[in-house]
């Protein structure tokens, strides 16, 4: 049995502790063998002990790969089989080389051993490519570009210090071909190794050991070629320690239990353009010019064409990389990071374009807004990670039904929005039903074996001449969604085309104008807009239901429309109020509630307006409600309204200072205000996301001119 890429120990017959002991024991044995190799004499009598030890270590790595594949059972096995075959060829090359050199005293170059050494490169490269392909489930163009860039840099250095000098030695053709084959093969291996390093996938102990093996091969091979070039190479020097350590690292990698996971695609992102990675790439790009400067001062000119070509390639790769970064940044700006759908900003921009096109051509256009029913209960029962998984799965199912050609976006926390071009009223209704059933037809797994059936409420709106803007079209769909919620959820409601809907728009616009007029009468233009934004921010911070957030925002906008019936002298009164004036004042919440309550789907908004002057201790008006009997939206607005009043000039006094207003809010905790909401407001105030009275678009610095809020 295998679960999440880990093979069960019952099938292997080896306890976990012993598996760890196997790879650790092999690693210690191999490293100690390296020390023994240098401590032993080359021969004891006629027995070439060094040759035996070296070849035994090299061969043991191939056997360890075979044993690791057999015991750890990686899926797929092919990459490891190919890597093991490559190591076997490498061990054969070692046996041939050291036997010829020490036993037969044949030191000619090239030899049969070089054919085996060169022959192991294609197998290693093929195995690594298979591993890379399995580790990534998507394309990683940035990683490929970075790998190619660093390989080009290594190629430039190899040409200047290895390949170029080798071509100018005048050695026999076979010697030159073999000498050039090593650095060329190393460049190919370097490219694939960097691709593995920069790519995504699981990284653990086996990955580190594999990287150590590759680093040992590349380092020792490079030094070997340089020593061959200056005729300083001697068998048995320090390079053998590097090669042997690399072989031991490969064997330990294959024996480590985690090697079973290395070839599996997992949801781990590739390494991004971090500062260290950027520094490495930038330094590499400067290598070409630096080499040219060195050669200039040395009076050398022969490598200029090659270096210039390399710099041109690096420039092209860098330009491509920057273009990819620009595309990634744009994608991040228009893509929701969780669901990978379009963002709200992207949706609004595309909708504006589609509305303009519909006006020109008269083609049908519709909008759907969908909301996950009772999503808060999912978060409360299973936790926010489970809620995120639900949103991701809902987005996937919606995309499957909507198709890739339609604009589908995450509009809010658990709200989704879709632009349906070419869809009339009937098509919108059918599409909404398909989307809802596409989500609810099968439960969604949330944790372990636990799953939930998720339903959606949907509101639709079709473009019509009286909905002349994108925001009006969205508002119509939004109102239809509210109605779907009010009717019991798990349904779609069509809206946005009737004359009644148009009259609702006119009525809402009229009341917004009334709110603005009241703001002007109390010398505070934009005040209601600011309070509405603060209320929405506080409600969102509290993670309230989306319906409560919308209600708080709408009620904040229309909070004091009932003041329109109050006489101007009462609004401007600076002295003590008479009993009659207090009676009139205390009626304005009811007046406002009645004005707003005539609008369809605004019953809750009206009730919040009616309660926004109730107090936590029950001493408020008009009904003397207290504590949790007051709606949460009204309690939020009470704090926001008080802050707006204290921080603006009034007829009988100047605005309170920030510090004084904060003290006043704190003194009202548990009396006038819900104490928890005061704490939340002050926290957001410290972050400067609430408290700004200039929230209205284009409004000047505002001052509260009323003592009545």
Q: Please, which pLDDT band fits residue 3 given cuts at 50, 70 and 90?
A: very low
Q: What is the pLDDT of residues 367-397, one digit of tens each?
A: 999 999 989 888 888 888 899 999 999 999 9
In angstroms, the CA 97 to CA 428 distance is 76
Rg of the chain, C-alpha, whole Å: 37
Q: Please, which pLDDT band fits residue 160 given cuts at 50, 70 and 90?
A: confident
Query: Quick one: pLDDT at residue 266?
Result: 58
Q: Please, which pLDDT band fits residue 202 given cuts at 50, 70 and 90?
A: confident
Q: Region 406-410: what's the mean pLDDT? A: 93
Transcribe 61-94 into DSSP letters.
Answer: HHHHHHHHHHHH--SS-HHHHHHHHHHHHHHHHH
Q: In terms of Cα–Cα distance, which of 196, 174, 179, 247 is closest to 217?
A: 247
Query: Quick one: pLDDT at residue 315?
Result: 84
Given phi > 0 = left and psi -120 to 50 = alpha, else beta, which region is 362?
Answer: left
Helix, strand or coil for residue 322? helix
Query: What are the domain boundaries of the chain?
Result: 14-136+203-272, 141-198+274-329, 344-497, 517-686
- More confident of the two residues 438 and 297: 438
- More confident of the two residues 199 and 440: 440
Query: Quick one: pLDDT at residue 234?
Result: 81
- More confident of the two residues 13 and 7: 13
Q: Please, which pLDDT band fits residue 9 given cuts at 50, 70 and 90?
A: very low
**349 has a pLDDT exceeding 70:** yes
Q: In terms of Cα–Cα distance, which of 520, 513, 530 is closest to 568?
A: 520
- More confident of the two residues 660 and 516: 660
Q: Please, which pLDDT band fits residue 545 given cuts at 50, 70 and 90?
A: confident
Q: Region 95-111: what's the mean pLDDT? A: 83
Query: Quick one: pLDDT at residue 581?
Result: 65
Residue 613 · residue 621 · CB < 8 Å: yes
According to DSSP, the β-strands at 450-452 and 444-447 are antiparallel
Task: Give the lowest-confidence range in 169-173, 335-339, 412-416, 518-522.
Answer: 518-522
Query: Which DSSP symbol is given to 103?
Result: I
Query: Quick one: pLDDT at residue 466?
Result: 56
**Beta strand spans in 431-552 (E):** 444-447, 450-452, 456-462, 492-495
Q: In terms of Cα–Cα distance, which of 201, 150, 157 is closest to 183?
A: 157
Query: Quick one: pLDDT at residue 247?
Result: 93
Q: Please, which pLDDT band fits residue 409 given cuts at 50, 70 and 90?
A: very high
Q: Give me the residue label for tokens 């071509």.
A: 167
Give the phi and the psi of residue 480 in degrees, each rounded to 5: -65, -35
CA angle 127, 149, 266 (to 5 degrees): 45
- More confident of the two residues 392 and 311: 392
Highest mean pLDDT among 11-20, 143-152, 612-621: 612-621
**695 has a pLDDT exceeding 50:** no
**582 has a pLDDT exceeding 50:** yes
Q: Region 593-607: what's the mean pLDDT? A: 81
Query: Quick one: pLDDT at residue 19?
Result: 54
Helices 675-686 and 527-541: angle between axes, nearest 10 degrees: 100
Q: Region 200-210: what's the mean pLDDT? A: 86
For domain 517-686, the CATH architecture is: Orthogonal Bundle (1.10)
**506 has a pLDDT exceeding 90:** no
Query: Quick one: pLDDT at residue 698?
Result: 33
Query: Quick one: pLDDT at residue 204?
Result: 85
In angstroms, the CA 66 to CA 69 distance is 5
**660 has a pLDDT exceeding 50:** yes
Q: Please, which pLDDT band fits residue 313 given cuts at 50, 70 and 90?
A: confident
**Cβ contacts of 569-572, under 8 Å, gap ≥ 24:** 570/708, 571/521, 571/522, 571/705, 571/706, 571/708, 572/651, 572/705
Task: Give the lowest-confidence range in 54-58, 76-80, 223-227.
Answer: 223-227
Query: Quick one: pLDDT at residue 18?
Result: 52
Q: Region 218-245: what's the mean pLDDT? A: 85
Residues of the chain with pLDDT > 70: what percent? 85
Q: What is the pLDDT of residues 245-301, one digit of tens each?
A: 999 999 999 999 988 888 776 554 444 566 777 787 788 888 888 888 887 787 777
Using CA atoms of 120, 122, 128, 129 in order, give the dihedral in degrees to the nearest 10: -170
Q: Region 55-79: what's the mean pLDDT? A: 92
**Cβ contacts of 430-435, under 8 Å, gap ≥ 24:** 431/366, 431/368, 431/402, 431/460, 432/368, 432/370, 432/458, 432/460, 432/492, 432/494, 433/492, 434/401, 435/368, 435/370, 435/398, 435/401, 435/402
Q: Region 438-463: what's the mean pLDDT? A: 89
Q: What is the pLDDT of residues 468-500, one digit of tens each?
A: 678 888 888 887 887 787 677 888 888 754 334
In angstroms, the CA 619 to CA 574 distance is 23
Helix, strand or coil for residue 362? coil
Q: Region 598-610: what's the mean pLDDT? A: 83
Q: What is the SS3 assignment for 540-592?
A: HHCCCCHHHHHHHHHHHHCCCHHHHHCCHHHHCCCCCCCHHHHHHHHCHHHHH
In angstroms, the CA 485 to CA 531 distance is 26
Topology adopted by domain 344-497: Alpha-Beta Plaits (3.30.70)
**317 has a pLDDT exceeding 60:** yes
Query: Which DSSP symbol is given to 104?
Result: S
Q: Region 580-598: what's the mean pLDDT? A: 76
Q: What is the pLDDT of residues 73-96, one digit of tens each?
A: 988 899 999 999 999 999 999 899
Residue 651 · residue 707 · CB < 8 Å: yes
Number of other CB atoms surrounding residue 168 within 10 Å: 9
Q: In terms of Cα–Cα distance, which of 227, 110, 246 is closest to 189?
A: 246
- More confident of the two residues 297 and 443: 443
Query: Quick one: pLDDT at residue 235?
Result: 74
């Amino acid at each position: 049995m295998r679960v999440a890429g880990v093979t069960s120990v019952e099938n292997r017959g080896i306890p976990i502790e012993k598996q760890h002991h196997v790879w650790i024991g092999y690693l210690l044995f191999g490293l100690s063998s390296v020390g023994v190799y240098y401590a032993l004499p080359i021969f004891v009598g006629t027995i070439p002990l060094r040759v035996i030890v070296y070849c035994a270590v090299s061969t043991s790595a191939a056997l360890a790969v075979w044993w690791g594949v057999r015991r750890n059972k990686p899926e797929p096995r092919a990459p490891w089989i190919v890597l093991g075959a490559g190591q076997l060829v490498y061990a054969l090359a070692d046996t041939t080389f050291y036997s010829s050199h020490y036993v037969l005293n044949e030191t000619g170059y090239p030899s049969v051993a070089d054919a085996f050494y060169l022959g192991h490169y294609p197998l290693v490269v093929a195995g690594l490519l298979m591993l890379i392909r399995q580790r990534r489930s998507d394309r990683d163009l940035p990683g490929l570009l970075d790998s190619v860039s660093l390989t080009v840099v290594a190629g430039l250095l190899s040409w200047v210090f290895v390949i170029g000098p080798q071509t100018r030695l005048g050695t026999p053709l076979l010697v030159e071909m073999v000498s050039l084959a090593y650095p060329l093969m190393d460049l190919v291996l370097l490219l694939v190794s960097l691709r593995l390093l920069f790519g995504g996938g699981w990284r653990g102990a086996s990955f580190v050991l594999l990287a150590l093996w590759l680093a040992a091969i590349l380092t020792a091979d490079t030094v070997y070629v340089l020593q061959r070039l200056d005729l300083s190479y001697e068998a048995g020097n320090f390079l053998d320690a590097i090669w042997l350590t690399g072989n031991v690292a490969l064997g330990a990698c294959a024996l480590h239990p985690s090697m079973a996971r290395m070839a599996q695609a997992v949801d781990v992102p590739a390494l991004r353009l971090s500062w260290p990675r950027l520094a490495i790439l930038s330094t590499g790009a400067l290598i070409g010019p630096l080499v040219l400067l060195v050669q200039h001062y040395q009076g050398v000119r022969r490598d200029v064409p090659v270096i210039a070509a390399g710099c041109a390639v690096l420039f092209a790769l860098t330009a491509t990389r920057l273009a990819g970064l620009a595309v990634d940044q744009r994608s991040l700006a228009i893509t929701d990071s969780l669901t990978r759908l379009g963002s709200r900003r992207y949706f609004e921009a595309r909708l504006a374009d589609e509305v303009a096109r519909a006006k020109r051509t008269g083609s049908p256009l519709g909008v759907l807004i969908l909301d996950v029913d009772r999503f808060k209960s999912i978060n409360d029962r299973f936790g926010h990670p489970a809620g995120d998984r639900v949103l991701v799965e809902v987005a996937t199912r919606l995309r499957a039904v909507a198709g890739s050609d339609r604009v589908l976006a995450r509009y809010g926390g658990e709200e989704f929005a879709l632009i349906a071009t070419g869809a009339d009223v009937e098509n919108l209704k059918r599409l909404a039903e398909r989307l809802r059933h596409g989500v609810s037809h099968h439960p969604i797994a949330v944790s372990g074996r636990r799953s939930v059936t998720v339903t959606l409420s949907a509101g639709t709106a079709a473009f019509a001449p009286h909905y002349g803007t994108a925001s009006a079209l969205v508002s119509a769909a939004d109102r239809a969604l509210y109605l779907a919620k009010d009717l019991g959820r798990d349904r779609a409601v069509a809206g946005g085309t009737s004359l009644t809907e148009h009259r609702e728009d006119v009525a809402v616009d009229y009341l917004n104008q009334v709110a603005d007029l009241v703001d002007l009468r109390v010398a505070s233009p934009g005040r209601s807009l600011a309070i509405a934004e603060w209320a929405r921010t506080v409600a969102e911070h509290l993670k309230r239901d989306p319906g409560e957030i919308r209600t708080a925002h709408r009620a904040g906008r229309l909070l004091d429309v009932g003041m329109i019936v109050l006489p101007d002298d009462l609004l401007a009164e600076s002295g003590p109020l008479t009993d009659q004036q207090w009676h009139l004042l205390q009626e304005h919440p009811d007046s406002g509630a009645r004005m707003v309550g005539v609008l369809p789907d605004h019953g809750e908004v009206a009730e919040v307006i009616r309660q926004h002057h109730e107090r936590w201790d029950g001493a408020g008006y008009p009904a003397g409600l207290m504590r949790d009997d007051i709606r949460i939206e009204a309690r939020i607005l009470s704090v926001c309204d008080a802050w707006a009043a204290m921080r603006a000039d009034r007829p009988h006094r100047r605005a309170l200072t920030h510090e004084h207003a904060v003290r006043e809010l704190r003194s009202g905790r548990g009396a006038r205000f819900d104490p928890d909401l005061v704490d939340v407001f002050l926290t957001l105030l410290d972050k400067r996301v609430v408290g700004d009275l200039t929230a209205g678009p284009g409004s000047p610095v505002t001052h509260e001119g009323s003592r009545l809020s």
